[in-house]
Chains A and B, each alone.
Chain A
Amino acid sequence: MKTRIAPYRCAGGLHPVYHKSLTAGAAVTALPLPSIFAISLAQHLGAPARPLVKKNETVGRGQPLAEPAGFISAWIHAPTSGKIKAIDEQWTATGRRATVITLESDGEDRWADGYPLPPLPADADRKQQIDRVAAAGIAGMGGAGFPTHVKLSPPPGKTIDTLIINGAECEPYLTADHRVMIEDADRLRQGIDRIRRLLGTCAVRIAIEDNKPDAIKAMEQALQSLDGDVELIVLPSAYPQGAEKQLIYSVTGREVPSGGLPMDVGALVENVGTAIAVTDALDSGWPLTERVMTATGSALTQPANLRVRIGTLFETIIEHCGGARIPPVKVICGGPMMGTALPSIAAGVCKTTSGLLLMPADAVHLFESTPCIGCGRCVMYCPMRLMPCTLSEAGEAEDDELLEAFRVLDCIECGSCAYVCPAHRPMVQHMKNSKARIALMRRKRETSRQRES
């Protein structure tokens, strides 16, 4: 095990004010078991899960509430024991409406029959282990929510030679991964070891930004006992350093091709939270029913790092943190750069929810968007080396061919362009809108091609 500075530097990137000191020193505390949970069935990337339970059914902790509806989908489990109050459409942490299961806790927090599942030893069958990861409902906990078992089973012909553990946490305000690396270093090491064994022989790179020296130290100590090709990579702090493709470049110098996946360059990126969820599933038999998140923002009375059950309502978390100190103007699920402004705080925590931000009026920039002045700042800062200015204008003009030619689908929606834009253009919304347009156009083209043939 050795530590070294990242050998490469990804394109673009900026240095927002981090505000991490609000919670960086706060140890993770467990939120007392709430009485109501709202569990969204669209917590992961891909098809929303199909509910398995009915209204008024009694469930135990860990009992599957919904099954995956396709290959790219995930199981969803009961966060505690109790009774199903409702299954209906509600606003969720993604800012959209989705089917939500409302669970009323009975306060006993009793495991369902047969749970936790028996632990799987490290020498168990590989397929069995991956099935367990799938059955535990693990989806990327860094924010994207890509089902982990899909990542762990690359199609034949693709080999993964580098496992990158993402502890960069480049989003301002968030400190959940930071605290996990300090407090849960041993479990994290176990998780890294399990994932490494599942992938076969491969190099392990743990990437941490240099604004977290205590986490680097803790990880250095914990990883001493891990043999093989293990390196701790210290990244210079910049946003969006922790984005998957940027991280792969910073660590290995390999560039994921346009439209490709990390496995195309032999890399796999897992968030630290996901690695811990993997060890929980394999070594303890726990399905994914809780996660660590940061509740922060200068409008919150007592910012904290919390261990919460999936489905805990945001209003419960705000109440636990002493409520709002000053009236918040914007409540964001996730970080300030890539998070979603919530239309309602009656939504529940998802597997991908890394933070909850209460922003007061002085921290929120309510803008009046004006036409692009062509300054090119967004081009300079874009970590994907795109031209956001051209793309946003093409989006307004609904010029699908230009959008495709300028690779709008490669946009990672990091928000760097919107952050630096002097014309205050809602860049990320333009990109999201254009990407949806292009995806729709491609689907139409595909169906018409099928009809012709």
Chain B
Amino acid sequence: MLPLIVPLAIITSTAVIGLTGLGCGLLLAMAARFLAVREDERIEALTECLPGINCGACGLAGCRDYARAIIEDDMPVNLCKPGGDDTLKALCGYLGIVAQAGVREVALVFCGGHNGVAKRQATYNGIADCVAAERIGGDGKACPFGCMGLGSCARVCPVNAIEITAQRLAIVHPELCIGCGACVKTCPRSLIAMVPESRTIHILCRSKDRGPVVRKYCEVGCIGCNRCVKAVDKKGITMDGALAVVDYAVPIEDVSVAETCPQSTIVVRDGRRTEGAS
């Protein structure tokens, strides 16, 4: 058996490294004690109350930033759109305050021109992305204002609430929409807008072209005939050039206005969250 000879070099190096490590450890321990930044524990608790999907609908980068802003900058507590009533209740409960819930808004695509009713004048053979297509003049849809259906909005939706139908039209499922507004910013043709979920009358067209031009390329485009505006006596629907626009600040009581539209551009659609929807 070999005699156990430990050279001096090993002993010294082990000692030096060991002592240095010990010293650094002590320094760190002291730093952790004396230089610690005390985080408000309320921020942690509020972050727990928020949905945690970091959608940015409140205007801040994520849920934790919003929680910090509530505590430090006195931001209103009702800005979390995805959380809705439940989150608001939890936040108010923790902070011991009472707040009015904001109106829940859902995204809506203002175009009803699917392939069955809107003309395509050319076939598009390029990048499958609305933004890229719009930069070279569109995807062959004859209407320059209509939905291209290449799914840029669906790809940015954090909860997959947007469906691109087989007929190449984007549809937001209101029961899934959390109202974060990511799709609104993405659509290159600015076709998506947030509407209060309680509203049922929508005019699904954004074409600024005159009636005869619209008729040539879309069966469900607004031709600016003015009938709906007359039917509601300018309360809730107004004309913007040759396009009828719903004013979501003014409620429309009578849903029969949809029947006055010769192009079926006006639809009656309930945006409320349906029971049992996940």
Contact = CB atoms under 8 A, between A and B. Distances in A.
Interface stretch (A5-13, A94-102, A152-160, A225-233): A94-102
Given A97-B144, A343-B140, A432-B135, A366 B209 contact: no
B139 to A, nearest CB: 9
A263 B166 CA distance: 52
A113 B253 CA distance: 62
B127 A89 contact: no
Contacts of B129: 433
A432 B136 contact: yes
A359 to B, nearest CB: 13
A96 B121 contact: no
Nearest to A346: B121
Interface in A66-122: 89, 91, 94-97
B164 interface: no
Nearest to B131: A433
A201 interface: no
Given A89-B209, A367-B125, A429 B132 contact: yes
Q: How large is the interface on B (under 10, 10 to 19, 20 to 34, 35 or more residues)?
A: 10 to 19
Best-surrounded residue of A341, A343, A344 (most CB of chain B within 10 A) = A343
A392 to B, nearest CB: 9
A433 B121 contact: no
Best-surrounded residue of B123, B137, B140 (most CB of chain A within 10 A) = B137
A48 B159 CA distance: 42
B138 interface: yes
A429 B122 contact: no
A357 to B, nearest CB: 15
A363 interface: no
B126 interface: yes
A63 to B, nearest CB: 27
Nearest to A364: B125
Given A433-B131, A433-B132, A343 B138 contact: yes
Nearest to B140: A343
Given A344-B121, A432-B135, A426 B126 contact: yes
A436 interface: yes
A15 to B, nearest CB: 25
A433 B140 contact: no
A344 B144 CA distance: 13
Contacts of B137: 91, 94-97, 340, 343
Contacts of A97: 137, 144
Contacts of A436: 135
28 contacts: A89-B144, A95-B136, A96-B136, A96-B138, A97-B137, A97-B144, A341-B122, A342-B122, A343-B122, A343-B138, A343-B140, A344-B121, A344-B142, A366-B123, A366-B125, A369-B127, A426-B126, A426-B127, A429-B127, A429-B136, A430-B132, A432-B135, A432-B136, A433-B127, A433-B129, A433-B131, A433-B135, A433-B136
Interface of B: 121-123, 125-127, 129, 131-132, 135-138, 140, 142, 144, 209
Given A344-B122, A366-B123, A426-B126, 17 more contacts: A91-B137, A95-B136, A96-B138, A97-B137, A341-B122, A343-B121, A343-B138, A343-B142, A344-B142, A426-B125, A429-B127, A432-B135, A432-B136, A433-B129, A433-B131, A433-B132, A436-B135
